[in-house]
Amino acid sequence: MDQNDRLIKTKENWAKARRGGEEREVFYEGDDRLPPGQHLVETWPVLDLGQKPDIPLSEWSLTIGGAVTTPATWTWGDFLAQPQFKDVSDFHCVTSWSRYDNEWEGVSFKQLMAVVQPLPSAKFILFKSYDDYTTNLPLLACQDDDVLLTYKWNGRPLTKEHGGPVRMIIPKRYAWKGAKWIKEITFSDHDEKGFWEVRGYSNSALPWQNDRYG
């Protein structure tokens, strides 16, 4: 078993135990914002597969294609030229921790769709990262007002450890659906499972249904 396989197994064990990281725990009895099986933290734990791509802004790009009318490749300048969007949402990790009231800034997914114009046949999306991580979602899950590509967290640039320069934020799903170090977004007429989904994690990842595993 190589180092990457050991890291994968470790994260799988974290999720199954519903614990993870070195976070500070905070419990609020009766808080209806907290999904089942979760506990609150005040920090923002870092969980990954041991690979944190270092991507200079001059070399970063995002390719958007597949079943769209107008495929696009955004440079960093193109990304910043899009209408900017701010939102506050909660963040739920499958390893059992949640963090409230995160302030995000970036480009809304609705704006991205307005630029590329998905075809009527587009029903699913596959996200790919600079470390070759992938994850998938139905198009409908990405059409909510709170879904965005973020480059700032709580007023500061998103760090490499948390997926910077840009990562996806999809608040109504467990956080593994929000790909770090986003590189490619592909619209499709069929569903293609991503990295964790083919390893037994839920394809839908709904925190309020405790929907962790397939």
pLDDT tens per residue across all 214 residues of the chain:
665 566 556 556 655 554 444 444 454 544 678 999 999 998 888 876 667 899 999 999 999 999 999 999 999 999 999 999 999 999 999 999 999 999 999 999 999 999 999 999 999 999 999 999 999 999 999 999 999 999 999 999 999 999 999 999 999 999 999 999 999 999 999 999 999 999 999 999 999 999 999 8
Q: How does DSSP classify residue 13? A: H
Distances in whole angstroms, Cα of residue 56 to Cα of each of 60, 138, 165, 181: 6, 31, 8, 11
Q: Give me the residue label for tokens 């990562």.
A: 167
Cβ contacts of residue 153 below 8 Å, gap of 6+?
Answer: 44, 102, 103, 104, 162
Q: What are the distances in angstroms from CA 50 to CA 41, 164, 200?
A: 22, 15, 20
Report the pLDDT value the prediction gives residue 21, as an integer from 0 to 100.
43
pLDDT of residue 29: 47
Q: What number of other Cβ atoms are within 10 A of residue 20's Cβ?
A: 19
State whether residue 162 is helix, strand or coil: helix
Q: Is 15 helix (H, G, I), strand (E, B) or coil?
A: helix
Tokens of 96: 């059992």
Q: Which two tokens stand for residue 12?
A: 């799988």
- Can you give the pLDDT at residue 17? 53
Rounded Cα distance between 43 and 9, Å, is 24
> Domains of the chain (ranges plus CATH)?
3-209 (3.90.420.10)
What b/e sequence results for 58-85 when a residue is b if at least 16 CB atoms lie within 10 Å of its CB, and e otherwise?
eebebebebbbeeeeebebeebeebeeb
Residue 50, pLDDT score: 66
Q: Are the beta carbons of 185 and 62 closer than 8 angstroms?
A: yes
Instruction: Give the sign of the dihedral formed by CA 125, CA 86, CA 84, CA 46.
Output: negative
